[in-house]
Structure 1
C-alpha cells in the first residue's frame, strides 16, 4: 500500500465500509485477459477472516472463467464524494474501500446456497429471508474466501476559505 496514512486497520471501521457499500467488483483472468464484473454481495467477518457471498445465473462467462481459474481479486468502495479546489491538483474524491484476493468456490448443495443467499440478503437489506430448495435451484451462489485484504479511506480535506 503506497498511501499508508489512508490505511484502515480497525476491524469495526472495515465492517462499516462493508456495511455501507452494496457492490463488489470481482476481477478474474479469462485466458490472458482480465475480466471484471460488478455484483451485489453478502459477507461474514469472523476473527478477521472475510468471506463474500455472490449470486448469479447458472450459466455464463463468469462461471466459465471461475471453473478454469478460481483466483479472484475484489474491490469494494463507498463514500464517494468528488471535491474541488482552487488549483487543479486540489481536486479529488473521498472514498472508503476494501480490496483483496481470494479463491472463489461455486456452492452446489442447496443448504449452502440457502445459507449464502441469506447472508447476501442480510447484508443488502438488513432483513432475514428464508429460501426453499426450489428457490435456489435456478441460481448459482459463489463463496469467495478472501485470503488477504486491505482497507483505505480518504476523507474530505480541511480547507481554509
Structure 2
C-alpha cells in the first residue's frame, strides 16, 4: 500500500503497534452479492514473527458471516487520537488522528485452543484484564481471524 502523504506515514513497527494498541474498534470492509459491507468490531491482536493477526468474534450467522464465507478477502481500518485542528478561516481547520489501514484474509477459527487464545487476546486488548475461557464459552460464538497481508500507519498531528 502506497501512501500519498509520506510526511504522515508511520513505518516503525513499534509505533505501528502503539497505534493498534490505542485503537479499540476495527472497521472491516467486505463484499457479498448485495454489494459492499462495512462493520465495526472489537478486536484483539497478536504480532508474532513479523505477522499481524487480528481476532474478532461474531454471531454464528448473519450477513457478515455469509459474506466472509463467500469471499474471505477484506480490508480494514482503525483510528485513534482524534482532535480538532482550528484556524482563523475554514480552510485551516482539520482533524488530527492516527490510523492503521490494511488488507488481509479472514479465516474461521475452529480449533478450541486457538479460539480460547483469540478470546483472551480480544478481552485483554479491550479491557487490559486477563480472562480465561472454557470450551462452552467459546463454542457460543464464531471466532474469526484476519491474517494481515499488509498494513500502513498514518499520524496526522
* TM score, norm. by length of structure 2: 0.95
2:116 — aligned with what? 114
RMSD of aligned residue pairs (Cα, Å): 1.0
1:140 equivalent to 2:142? Answer yes
Deviates more, 1:82-91 or 1:2-11: 82-91
The Cα of 1:103 is off from its aligned counterpart by 0.2
Report SS of the residue matched to 1:58: coil
1:80 — aligned with what? 82
Return 5+ residue gaps in structure 2 as ranges.
Answer: none
The Cα of 1:112 is off from its aligned counterpart by 1.6
1:98 equivalent to 2:88? Answer no
The Cα of 1:75 is off from its aligned counterpart by 0.1
What is the rounded CA distance, in whole Å, between the counterparts of 1:90 and 1:22 in structure 2?
29
Runs of 4+ residues over 6 Å off in structure 1: none
1:20 equivalent to 2:48? Answer no
Does structure 2 conserve the Cα–Cα contact (< 8 Å) formed by 1:42 and 1:53? yes
Report SS of the residue matched to 2:137: helix
Which among 43, 53, 70 is matched to residue 45 of structure 2? 43
The Cα of 1:78 is off from its aligned counterpart by 0.3
2:126 — aligned with what? 124
Return 5+ residue gaps in structure 1 as ranges.
Answer: 156-161
* TM score, norm. by length of structure 1: 0.93
Report SS of the residue matched to 1:99: strand
For residues 21-60 of structure 1, what are the alpha-carbon distances to aligned partners after superposition, in whole Å with 9 as ceiling and x for unaligned? 1000000011261100000000111233211000111111
The Cα of 1:76 is off from its aligned counterpart by 0.6
